[in-house]
Amino acid sequence: MTDTIWKSPATPAQLNALGKNTAAEFLGIEVTEVGPDFVRGTMPVSERTVQPMGLIHGGINVVLAETLGSMAANMAVDTHKYFCVGQEVNANHVRAVRKGPVSATARVKYLGRSSQVWEIEIMDERGRLSCISRLTMAVVAHVHP
């Protein structure tokens, strides 16, 4: 059995179902793989995801990064006791993308009791780095009356 960081594991199909009727579905974000310590997904470069110059919109890269990172963060906690919410996100856009899908992989950098840090790499269809993002998540306890 492979070691994993997941305390509340989910399949790509389950994660995609969570994205129904959300920005993820509107933008075409699809989770394609869950590994022992990462979540991977794709998003098309289309009229919904580009800016007026025809390049992928930097803010859309951030939506992709935060979507995958948030899913991963919540899988890394016991969701009966905790949930994770975004606290800070940044992105460095290093290569323009005009066509094809992009793929993104969220990998944990730090799993703490009250926070997590995830790194998300977004690649073009040729496997070249397009954007690198860091996402900090707050781990919040469920409050039960």
| Catalytic residue from among 30, 47, 66, 88 | 66
Distance of CA 140 to the CA centre of its chain: 19
Q: How many CB atoms lie within 10 A of CB 45?
A: 22
Is 125 designated active site?
Answer: no
According to DSSP, residue 56 is labeled B
CA separation for the pair 42, 33 (Å, rounded): 10
76 by DSSP, 3-state: which? coil
β-pairing verdict for 101-111 and 82-93: unpaired
134 to 65, 105, 109, 137: CA distances (angstroms): 8, 12, 9, 10
CA separation for the pair 65, 122 (Å, rounded): 8
CA separation for the pair 119, 24 (Å, rounded): 19
Residues with catalytic function: 66
